[in-house]
Amino acid sequence: MQKAAAQGDPGSAAPDPYAWLEDVGGARPLDWVRARNAVSEAALGGPAHDALRARLQGILDAKERIPYVGRHGDYLYNFWRDAAHERGIWRRTTLDEYRKDAPRWDTVIDLDALARSEGDNWVWAGVRYLEPHGTRCLVSLSRGGGDADVVREFDLDARAFVAGGFALPEAKSSVAWIDHDTLFVATDFGPGSMTASGYPRIVKEWKRGTPLQDARLVFEAGFDDLSASARKDLTPGFEREFVTRQIGFYSSELFLREAQFPNKLRKIDKPDDANAYAVRDQLLVELRSDWTVGARTWPQGSLLAIDVDRFLRGERDFEALFTPTATSSLDGVAATRSALLLTVLDKVKNRLVELRREHGAWARREVATPGIGTLGVSVLDEIDSDDYFLTVTDFLTPTTLYLGRVGSDERDRLKAMPAWFDPAPYTVSQFEAKSKDGTLVPYFVVMGRNAKLDGTNPTLLYGYGGFEVSLKPAYSGMIGAGWLEGGGVYVLANIRGGGEFGPRWHQAALKERRQKAFDDFLAVARDLIRRQVSSPRHLGIMGGSNGGLLVGAALTQRPDLFNAVVCQVPLLDMRRYHTLLAGASWMGEYGDPDDPAQWEFIGKYSPYHNVFKDKHYPAVLFTTSTRDDRVHPGHARKMAALMEAQGHAVLYWENTEGGHAGAANNTQQARMWALTYSFLRRQLA
């Protein structure tokens, strides 16, 4: 391998010639962006692109989509965008109405009207209710879709923001209700109050009617920690206050703040890399590594439970609610009034397990679910209800939403996504590729039933491989209409670094082992070629964020395997990633490039330092967002500028809004995806 560029070496005085593109809103960088956008739109535009864009816009705006809801009090709340509501409306209905094909909705906030009246490009960023039945909530609004947002108190009865109520200026804040007149607040309190990663490190207790600067200090994390936050469990009879010191992405400390000793925090005894939380009278602990307690060692990936009060008295006789196998992992935990619902991933397919505490012991029941694919569980109300929403989906079956209830396999079918494309011509297969070290890596292939295995199929390989994120089968009108209907093959790779097989699968590609994720992805590409599903002429790859780093590494390491690369909101300059926006928070994933020993392995794959003028690369489309305040747009800008200067085939498109998602509304999404699929069709067909 050629030596990484000199400017990437720690302590090197060699300047980065494209560092000026890191000035996100600077006049010169934005002129550069506008010029590249114009080139990309001209190159990829035309009648076919316009027709595809209209088709995708229709799917995104369709009123027949499932309106996913969350319950608070007597209402189900939903945030909705369509052609008439570009920025969206926050609305509510009752469960009885929701059961109907065309429910009657009441608008609570019209974001388009709010944006017009206030002259701000508001994007919905979520809501936090005063539980269990409070009439107040905290609404978060982002300018342009970034992670930073403003927080305002809202009266659900009056359907209006509370004059003189709780309000926070724009920041990456964490807020939680303690009671009607008190909040936990972690925000930007001024110089020194944020961590190196750009998140709050100070938590305060804020009383209504008092200035924010007078709020009472609760906890202060270190500058090099990731963040600090606090919350109160408002379940009647089980009210507890917890403070979290997030040391790194995978390490944290949890403290109990007891009412009788509010100035003294009691540390919960758990491994730093474990996740712990209380559900009523039980403390649950999810393990990322083996944990020896007394004479017992619990394996990584386990879910343990113990009575909270007994745990606080020093007892440690945990019960295992889940232990992984070679092919299974814990995918999610949801709590209803009387049960825990565990979503288990087995060979990258979901199943559902119900656990109920009966007579001092846990009773376990496998829940019969419709279809085999990906399951999603969300509870209606963990305080008052044993009902839950269940979504069922796979690559070819439109997502269906059911209302289930604990103790029964019977459920009510509430909603279903329309079939945006005809599934009949397609088939789904699951294969395994052998990686460089012999590890078998599963992947899914969606292709035409009559497609020939002659290497001529336009094929899109998608991957992520990081942060313990699992990629699972899911129905997508964008993929169906944008790619499959045009004769394309879609491939989803379950490479190491993800969570498909639990913490061990993730940790196998951490830091100095990162190359294994890239090896897995390249192995899948080679296996597709070996099976003659595709060939280098017709094979393209796509990934976003950490997946953008993945395809950037694949591009620079094996350019001979591909003919198109779509690199979305990516990390690419791994010498400076930890200095840009939230990058410092990911050193637990990638390592510290300021440490020469760690730069030794990071520098070998950093895409920005391993692209060279004298090598031939496939055509690349970089997409990002000016308003992405998580992964700096400078990564994509600089890589595109460098490759362009070296004479490689590069297109670049940057949305001026959108945050890390790349698009802030349906119109922007349709435009982004139409450009993306137009590029792939042009390169691979």
Residues in the chain: 685
- Give pLDDT, residue 1: 35
Asked if the model's pLDDT at residue 8 lies above 70, the reply is no
Greatest distance between any 2 Cα atoms in the chain: 73
- Give pLDDT, residue 5: 43
For the entire predicted model, the pTM comes to 0.94
C-alpha angle with apex 420: 418 to 424, nearest 5 degrees? 105
In angstroms, the CA 109 to CA 153 distance is: 13
**In which band, very low, low, confident or very high, does the pLDDT at 283 lie, cut at 50, 70 and 90?**
very high
**Residue 107: how many other CB atoms lie within 10 Å:** 13
Percent of the chain with pLDDT over 90: 93
- Reported as a single tens digit per residue, the pLDDT across 562-587 is 999 999 999 999 999 999 999 999 99
Which among 189, 198, 177 is positioned nearest to 219, based on CA atoms? 189
- Give pLDDT, residue 12: 54
In angstroms, the CA 443 to CA 431 distance is: 5
**In which band, very low, low, confident or very high, does the pLDDT at 7 lie, cut at 50, 70 and 90?**
very low
SS3 of residue 492 by DSSP: strand
Query: For residues 382 and 337, is the Cβ–Cβ distance under 8 A?
Result: yes
- Reported as a single tens digit per residue, the pLDDT across 546-559 is 999 999 999 999 99
C-alpha distances out from residue 293 to 255, 322, 502, Å: 19, 17, 21
Asked if the model's pLDDT at residue 355 lies above 50, the reply is yes
Asked if the model's pLDDT at residue 658 lies above 80, the reply is no
Residues 86-91 have a mean pLDDT of: 96
C-alpha distances out from residue 197 to 119, 496, 585, 602, Å: 30, 25, 5, 19
Looking from the CA of 159 toward its CB, the CA atoms found within 13 Å total: 12
Residues 91-115 have a mean pLDDT of: 97
Average pLDDT of the residues of the chain: 95
Q: How are the residues of the chain apportioned to helix, strand and coil, as percentages rounded to the nearest 5?
A: 25, 35, 40
Would you please indicate which residues are annotated as catalytic (active-site) residues?
A: 545, 660
Would you state the structure tokens that stand for residue 178, as one six-digit string?
């303690």
C-alpha distances out from residue 673 to 40, 478, 681, Å: 13, 8, 12
- The CATH label, of 3.40.50.1820, 2.60.200.20, 3.30.465.10, 1.20.58.710, for the domain at 435-684 is 3.40.50.1820
In DSSP terms, which residues pair with 565 in a beta bridge? Answer: 541, 620
Phi and psi angles of residue 604, each rounded to the nearest 5 degrees, phi first: -70, -25
In angstroms, the CA 143 to CA 114 distance is: 12
Residues 287-297 have a mean pLDDT of: 95
Asked if the model's pLDDT at residue 4 lies above 60, the reply is no
Q: What is the dihedral of CA 417, 421, 424, 429, to 10 degrees?
A: -80
- Reported as a single tens digit per residue, the pLDDT across 367-383 is 999 877 899 999 999 99
Residues 532-561 have a mean pLDDT of: 98
Percent of the chain with pLDDT over 70: 98
In angstroms, the CA 99 to CA 90 distance is: 19
In the chain the first and final C-alpha atoms are separated, in Å, by: 32
SS3 of residue 327 by DSSP: coil
In DSSP notation, 11-78 reads T-----TTGGGG-TT-HHHHHHHHHHHHHHHHHH-SHHHHHHHHHHHHHHH-TTS----EEETTEEEE
- Give pLDDT, residue 664: 75
Residues 525-535 have a mean pLDDT of: 98
Write b or e for each residue in 411-440: b if 16 or more Cβ atoms lie within 10 A of its Cβ, otherwise e. Answer: beebbebeebbebeebebeebebebeeebe
More confident residue, 327 or 12: 327
Residues 486-502 have a mean pLDDT of: 97
Asked if the model's pLDDT at residue 2 lies above 80, the reply is no
Write b or e for each residue in 180-211: b if 16 or more Cβ atoms lie within 10 A of its Cβ, otherwise e. Answer: eebbbbbbbbeeebbbbbbbbbbbbbbeeeee
- Reported as a single tens digit per residue, the pLDDT across 61-79 is 999 999 999 999 999 999 9
Query: For residues 53 and 45, is the Cβ–Cβ distance under 8 A?
Result: no
Residues 605-629 have a mean pLDDT of: 97
Least confident of 16-20, 256-260, 503-507, 596-600: 256-260
Asked if the model's pLDDT at residue 455 lies above 50, the reply is yes
In angstroms, the CA 206 to CA 611 distance is: 51
Report the phi/psi class of residue 164: left, alpha or beta, with left for phi > 0 and alpha for psi in -120 to 50. Answer: left
**In which band, very low, low, confident or very high, does the pLDDT at 9 lie, cut at 50, 70 and 90?**
low
